């Protein structure tokens, strides 16, 4: 066997990750997407670097007062994926970082060969646009090894993200945080308070309506 450059592409496809299917690079001994390295003692081993990359690359896209409450990454599928493919630079990569903050869920495409973000540009969904977010086992034969994060948006679009190994743990943690984030978001969009006299919406309960000055009853 020669080691010429013409062999690279063939070898590249044959080296794809056994867990997530991402194409491998010869210089690296772990998958740049899911971190899978090898199996020893019958257990799969995962490289932590990919988690650090996900965290780091998402961090760069946050607003000043925003912080990451949950992070995972994996292969995306579902109706929403088509939109991602509009960017020709990342056309071939079905892999994304997913980050949850107090206000939004962020999707960031990553290069499938090196695991790093395609750009600092992200797609983000405000929390109130998310109708449902859940996790389920993606592989019933091996519980917990890989999970599917299922997201349904209020406009009917949806996507699924399949994550493996330590990133499957990340997806489960993201889901747990999501429950409290969603609760807080729901509380903050509680039914509006309106003045019974002028019907205008008030930002909070007032003794007197800030618009028409009418005393607001019922406060005891």
Binding site for Zn ion (CB under 5 A): 17, 19-20, 22, 31, 33-34, 36, 195, 197-198, 209, 211-212, 214
In angstroms, what is the minimal distance from the CB of 182 to Zn ion? 30
Smaller CB distance to Zn ion: residue 128 or 166? 166
Smaller CB distance to Zn ion: residue 113 or 153? 113
Q: How far apart are CA 71 and CA 129, in angstroms?
A: 19
In angstroms, what is the minimal distance from the CB of 134 to Zn ion? 23
In angstroms, what is the minimal distance from the CB of 111 to Zn ion? 13
In angstroms, what is the minimal distance from the CB of 194 to Zn ion? 8
Smaller CB distance to Zn ion: residue 126 or 196? 196
Q: How far apart are CA 208 and CA 196, in angstroms?
A: 11
Helices marked H in the chain? 8-14, 49-59, 81-84, 166-188
Smaller CB distance to Zn ion: residue 2 or 27? 27
Smaller CB distance to Zn ion: residue 58 or 209? 209
CA torsion angle 35 38 43 47 (round to 10): -30
**CA 157, 123, 162: angle at the middle one, nearest 5?**
65
In angstroms, what is the minimal distance from the CB of 218 to Zn ion? 14
Classify burial at 133, counting beta carbons within 10 Å of its beta carbon; exposed 0-12, middle 13-18, buried 19 or more: buried
- Residue environment code for 137-168, b if the CB has 16+ CB neighbours within 10 A, otherwise e: ebeeeeeeebbbbbbbbeeebbbbbbbbbbbb
Give the residue from 170, 120, 121, 125 showing the smallest Cα distance to 144.
170
């Amino acid at each position: 066997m020669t080691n010429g450059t013409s062999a690279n592409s063939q070898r590249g496809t044959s080296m794809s990750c056994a867990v997530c299917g991402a194409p491998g690079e010869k210089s690296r001994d772990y998958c740049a997407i899911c971190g899978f390295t090898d199996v020893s003692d019958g257990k799969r081993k995962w490289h932590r670097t990919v988690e650090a990359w996900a965290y780091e690359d998402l961090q760069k896209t946050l607003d000043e007062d925003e912080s990451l409450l949950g992070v995972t990454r994996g292969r995306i599928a579902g109706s929403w994926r088509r939109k991602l493919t509009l960017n020709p630079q990342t056309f071939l990569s079905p892999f994304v970082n997913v980050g949850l903050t107090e206000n939004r869920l962020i999707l960031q495409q990553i290069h499938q060969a090196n695991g790093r973000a395609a750009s600092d540009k992200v797609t983000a969904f405000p929390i109130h646009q998310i109708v449902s977010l859940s996790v389920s086992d993606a592989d019933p034969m091996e519980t917990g090894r890989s999970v599917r994060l299922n997201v349904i948006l209020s406009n009917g679009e949806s996507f699924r993200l399949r994550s493996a190994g330590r990133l499957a743990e990340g997806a489960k943690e993201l889901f747990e945080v999501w429950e409290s984030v969603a609760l807080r978001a729901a509380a903050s969009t509680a039914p509006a308070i309106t003045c019974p006299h002028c019907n205008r919406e008030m930002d909070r309960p007032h003794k007197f309506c800030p618009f028409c000055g009418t005393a607001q009853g019922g406060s005891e």
